[in-house]
Amino acid sequence: MLLTRPLRWSASVLQLPLARFSTTLRQCSTKRNEETADGKPEDGGGKQGSLIVRTNLFESAAKKDKQTYIEMVKIFEKRSVHRRNHVEFIYAALRHMEEFGVNKDIAVYKALIDVMPKGKFIPTNIFQAEFMHYPRQQQCIIDLLEQMEDNGVMPDYEMEAMLVNVFGKKGHPVRKYWRMMYWMPKFKNLSPWLLPNPVPDDALELARLAVERMCSIDPRSKIQVFDTQEVESAIDHTWVVSGQSGEQSELLEAHDRQEPVYIEGPFVIWLRNRSINYYVLKSAPKPLPPIEETDDPDDVSNLHNPYVGLDLRFRKRPGSGSAVSTRRRSVHEQEDGIIYAICCTGSSTKDSLLSWIRLLEKESGNGALSSLAVLFKFTSPTSEVMVSGAETSTVQQ
């Protein structure tokens, strides 16, 4: 009897009409009202149509600049209070940043972080914090911070406050921000060759910066800009940025007249995200003989002062009869040859390089070029995807 009474009572409840519970059932329903009475979805195709409209805003923009980009973000923020599909919108905005020229603007990244709803993704216990509460949203902002890091954009303290308001202090994007703030200031000005940011688009200014960087190993180097129109027989009229020091001119003057000199290239040098080709005027490889050491390294009767002399490897020592050990080796004398000069041309053609050689002959200290055979040794440019063998062609002037 005790078991059958509840069953009978529940059966009697099930026989009641559903009209009494219709209001309650309507309130508890979680289905989105996306269809009309005709069965057609609203808002141009429901969720998929709304997502396509939001992500195609950047593709359909007629004018692509920072102001238009910010307006697109504001349009998305004002469309819905709940800001649904905000993750897809941020990913679409990140893909089109370079087209709008805002991939290095920290204000634009802050505007994208501000799209995220505030307070909803903050973990409330240690398990949510460690197991990545709302993983899609956190990974989206982590990808945004990684794109900032790839573009060299360093965050500031205002961005930290925005991330804490969205994900809390235990969120993974906040941890990523702390790692960036630790390492990026250390590497920002680590290079001794400071470059303007952004790097100029003018090829002549870019070539001047590249030659100055390569010639900085010798403070006495002189950077000159030539115009090939000064050469009467020049076919290609362009500019040439040349770098040479007085010591390189002396080495060129001492070069054996029976041996040719070579113009090798093109080689590639990168200045931030820009690259430019350069050429080198050098001699054939001449490995220097090893230094003869006649002193006993275990003899402590005649110690040398290590703070005297520029280079102790080629310093004359008592009892050393080698002529090579008494001569200081120049920084331009390398194992693969002696570097006499470097240059960048506007067209990187053989005729512009010939004009460079003729213009160097007119400079003081380079008169030996008139009696030397100049050979071209062109190599195929390297590729990051496929590495091919170097094709070398040698032509006498």
How do residues 300-353 score in pLDDT, each as one tens digit? 777 766 666 544 444 444 444 444 444 577 889 888 899 999 999 999 899 999
Q: What would the pLDDT profile of 158-170 be if each residue is shown by its tens digit?
A: 999 999 999 999 9
Instruction: Tell whether the model's pLDDT for residue 34 goes beyond 50.
Output: no
Q: What is residue 28's predicted lDDT score, i.e. its pLDDT?
A: 36
Q: What is residue 84's predicted lDDT score, i.e. its pLDDT?
A: 81
Q: What is residue 276's predicted lDDT score, i.e. its pLDDT?
A: 94
Give residue 394's pLDDT band: very low, low, confident or very high (50, 70, 90): very low
- Relative orientation angle of helices 86-95 and 135-150, to the nearest 10 degrees: 20
* Cβ neighbours around 97 below 10 Å, total: 20
Instruction: Tell whether the model's pLDDT for residue 372 goes beyond 70.
Output: yes
Instruction: Tell whether the model's pLDDT for residue 42 goes beyond 60.
Output: no
Give residue 38's pLDDT band: very low, low, confident or very high (50, 70, 90): very low
How confident is the model over 6-23, as a mean pLDDT?
42
What is the pTM assigned to this prediction?
A: 0.65
Q: What is residue 19's predicted lDDT score, i.e. its pLDDT?
A: 41
Instruction: Tell whether the model's pLDDT for residue 29 goes beyond 80.
Output: no
Q: Parse the chain into domains and list their residue ranges.
A: 53-188, 192-288+332-387
Q: What would the pLDDT profile of 265-292 be if each residue is shown by its tens digit?
A: 899 999 988 999 999 999 999 876 565 5
Instruction: Tell whether the model's pLDDT for residue 364 goes beyond 60.
Output: yes
pLDDT > 90 fraction of the chain, expressed in percent and rounded = 46
Give residue 147's pLDDT band: very low, low, confident or very high (50, 70, 90): very high
pLDDT > 70 fraction of the chain, expressed in percent and rounded = 73
**Average pLDDT score, the chain:** 78
Q: Measured between alpha carbons, how far is 277 from 266 in angstroms, rounded to an integer?
A: 5
Instruction: Tell whether the model's pLDDT for residue 60 goes beyond 90.
Output: no
Q: What is residue 173's predicted lDDT score, i.e. its pLDDT?
A: 95
Between the two ends of the chain, the Cα-to-Cα distance in Å is 117
How confident is the model over 97-120, as a mean pLDDT?
92
Q: What is residue 24's predicted lDDT score, i.e. its pLDDT?
A: 37
359: burial class by Cβ within 10 Å (0-12, 13-18, 19+)? Answer: buried
Instruction: Tell whether the model's pLDDT for residue 193 goes beyond 70.
Output: yes
Give residue 109's pLDDT band: very low, low, confident or very high (50, 70, 90): very high
Instruction: Tell whether the model's pLDDT for residue 234 goes beyond 70.
Output: yes
Q: Which residue has the higher pLDDT, 326 or 252?
A: 252
Helix/strand/coil (H, E, C) string of the chain?
CCCHHHHHHHHHHHCCCHHHHHHHHHHHCCCCCCECCCCCECCCCHHHHHHHHHHCCCCCCCCCCHHHHHHHHHHHHHHCCCCCCHHHHHHHHHHCHHHHCCCCCHHHHHHHHCCCCCCCCCCCCHHHHHCCCCHHHHHHHHHHHHHHHHCCCCCCHHHHHHHHHHHCCCCHHHHHHHHHHHHHHHHHCCCCCCCCCCCCCCHHHHHHHHHHHHHHHCCCCEEEEEEHHHCCCCCCCCEEEEEECHHHHHHHHCCCCCCCEEEEEEEEEEECCEEEEEEEEECCCCCCCCCCCCCCCCCCCCCCCCCCCCCHHHCCCCCCCCCCCCCCCCCCEECCEEEEEEEEECCCCHHHHHHHHHHHHHCCCCHHHHHCCEEEEECCCCCCCCCCCCCCEEEEC
159: burial class by Cβ within 10 Å (0-12, 13-18, 19+)? Answer: buried
